[in-house]
Amino acid sequence: MGNKKNYAYTQNRELSWLRFNERVLEEAGDGNVPLLERFKFVSIFTSNLDEFYMIRCGSLYDISILEEDYIDSKSGMSAQEQLQAIYRTTKKLYLLRDSIYKNLRQELKPFVHRVSMRSLSVKEQQRAKQYFDNDVLPLLSPQVIDIHHPFPHLANKALYVMVRLKTKNRELYGLVPVPQSVDRCYFLSEDQRRLVLLEDLISAHLKELFTGYEIDFHTVIAVTRNADINLNAAEIDDDEDYREQMKNILKKRRRMAPIRLELFRHSDKAFVSYICRQLHLSEEQVFLSKTPLDLSYVFSLARPRGGNLQPFLYPSFHPQPSRDLRLDRPIMDQLLHKDALLFYPYESIDPFLQLLKEASRDKDVVSIKITVYRLAKNSKIIRHLVAAAENGKEVTVLMELRARFDEQNNISYAELLENSGCTVLYGIENYKVHSKLCLITRKKKNQLQYFTQIGTGNYNEKTSEQYTDYSYLTAREGIGIDAVNFFQNMAIGQLQGTYEHLLVAPHTLKTQVLAMIDTEIEKARNQQPAEILMKLNSLTDRKIIDRLQEASSAGVQIRLIIRGICCLLPGIPGYTEHVEVHSIVGRYLEHARVYCFGSGPYQRIFISSADMMTRNTEKRVEVACPIYEERLKQRILSDLRIMWSDNVKARRLQSDGSYARLPQSGERIDSQDQLMRTAILAAEDASRKQSEEKESLWERVHHRLFSQKK
């Protein structure tokens, strides 16, 4: 891996991710996107970047200190070189965000306008002052920083108004935490069209907070801290409760080292120098933003406040009824006759929720087993599992407590499940359980029936309306037996289990994917049609990348739909001429993972929880499931063809790592819009067939009754 040739067709994962987030920001600048949705994209870009700094930059920061000889396998860069490249790129993205945000503010003016305190009328200033005195001032805790009041701990991503103070004798700094218990937006009138941000309101009253001082300079700051703490079970004391130890580990995150400092609007060289010394940061880790540092308030602006918001939002769409499953009939009985596939958010999660509800009440169901990574608040899924346990079913939940930033939520649910009589397992040491697998076992007439659900996304009702994911439901005995073995293996920490149908990481998934790539290579070398089509969130696994490069060189046609990171560069002469990569960023977060190998009747198709990242293929428990029914295979291929044809929201990855829009030579195709319309038509068609069935049934009954009367 040491020579430059190895890096000819690969790029750094962190810089690739920043390009993905730039595509998110481009949605905010797209005039074809509704105005408030564009505003949301600025907020999504910002929160994405926050998490990137907390996790990825935090990890690189640690590596730069602890592993001096570390070299990135895709770019040959050291950890410090990567950090410096990230800082340079980030500064450009801040400028782009500022420009887009400024334009959006102007376009939003007729609807809602963030104003400065200086622009308020006398009456508005009086009302703002009254609000400040009554609702804000009692919650503030201003402090000076001096020998008796040392520099305080600044909470991760919390907002502070920081001031430089002067008296006749000295110069010092002061700090005002912006309270989180008060609304960020203070609306100046009942129509709620003009607002002041809380930090601006506090900044306008600094003289009252620091009496006896001259306010020399002030700004709003936010510190981003390294949140990449190691949550492996190796840190857990065997003598103490795992959940309690996890709670203690999470407390460490709040005090981790600073990795970034942001200033809002105003900067000053002496101030930056001072705070960098206090936080042990270099000045390249300081970023000046003309956009508010916390944009989460943007989502509240999209809630009804009087007036019609719909012109500023995406056209209303609700997940459609499944074309495969009817809610007015038992789901398990339907699955005994055919497999079913749900495609969120185009189709509703309700059939799966109905399946769990049925299972919790069915007297013949003996057990429900499920893996859990992320859950919705007030989860219906948890409600059905609790009901099942209370109804005497054996309920086993493999709960991953190490799901980043969802740890506390999962701890709370784990306690609830245990208190309800469920068996809760906590994963495997050093391996996160990221698979999405649910198994319902029913014993009828002394025969076991297995109902298995395998998904590409979490068991989360909220994100099922925001993320695109497949959910496969089947009563196939072979897949059910594999699921039985999977849960038995997980219960004893066995990662080397063998399965007839499922591909399970870390043991078999990667080796089988490599083997299927090899099969296509062999076909190409024998002058046979050879194709690989994959839909992923990220591609970073070096072994997979190298094998795809080998396949391209052999003549295999490789099409990749990758939303985020792609470390494989296409179109590199001598390496990747037969690779093409598209990325779709739009209304919904593209999240489904699909692997397709070959073409025609022998094509193999899998849906999976795993991206082609080393963390997924080698360090997590993941599941990929084959799709056998030809009807469902063709449906998935049809969906992928629509995505590949997208020339509105898709971008094509260039050989230099940049992305370019696809040419719109013919029909404009927005794949997500087309898939919504397809779901509506399929639901209407299914509804029409159901009506015809009912009508036909009524006619048969009527005919029978009429015949009996005769």
Alpha carbons 646 and 663: distance in angstroms, whole number: 10
The string of DSSP codes covering 465-519 is GTEEEEEEEE--HHHHHHHHHHHHHHHTT------SS-EEETTTHHHHHHHHHHH
Burial status of residue 591 (CB atoms within 10 A of its CB: 0-12, 13-18, 19 or more): buried
Alpha carbons 161 and 202: distance in angstroms, whole number: 8
Alpha-carbon separation of residue 98 from 26, 275, 604 (angstroms): 12, 23, 47
The string of DSSP codes covering 247-275 is HHHHHHHTTPPEEEEEEES---HHHHHHH
| Angle CA 516–517–521, to nearest 5 | 115
Using the Cα atoms of residue 482, residue 485, residue 486 and residue 487 in order, give the sign of their dihedral: positive
Residue 459's H or E segment, with its range, is none
Long-range contacts of 228-234 (CB under 8 A, 24+ apart): 228/54, 228/55, 228/56, 228/58, 228/59, 228/62, 228/256, 229/253, 229/256, 231/401, 231/402, 231/407, 232/402, 232/429, 232/430, 233/426, 233/427, 233/428, 233/429, 233/430, 234/429, 234/430
Please choose, from the candidates 396, 434, 436, 432, the residue with its C-alpha nearest in 3D space to the C-alpha of residue 417.
396
Active site residue 702: no
Alpha carbons 522 and 529: distance in angstroms, whole number: 10
Is 346 in contact with 319 (CB distance < 8 Å)? Answer: yes
Alpha carbons 357 and 389: distance in angstroms, whole number: 12
Alpha carbons 340 and 502: distance in angstroms, whole number: 17
Alpha carbons 151 and 451: distance in angstroms, whole number: 59
Alpha carbons 550 and 9: distance in angstroms, whole number: 11
From the list 205, 218, 384, 434, the catalytic residue is 434
Catalytic residues: 434
